[in-house]
Structure 1
């Protein structure tokens, strides 16, 4: 999930803030971003909407 991390940091949003915005815990979000847990499509869509990016951007 390094592309999510880069985009999130570029936008100045913390992991905790993004997790809060999409309705999941910060530790769970961290697991997705660091490839420790598989990212469900539903969560990927929420992240894409929140960061104003495409799903393709997430899976680069």
Structure 2
């Protein structure tokens, strides 16, 4: 068995959000699959004008 300890992690400043009907938390609210690129700024993610905790 391989065990790995992640000691640090840096993000590039961008992230991706993928939604699909029937999948995960928003599955019942989504009518078609979508992929969106969002900005990651320190402790939060900017998504459609909202600042969400990262």
Structure of larger gyration radius: 2
Smaller-chain TM-score bracket = under 0.3
> Where is the helix percentage greater, Structure 1 or Structure 2?
1
TM-score by length of 2: 0.23
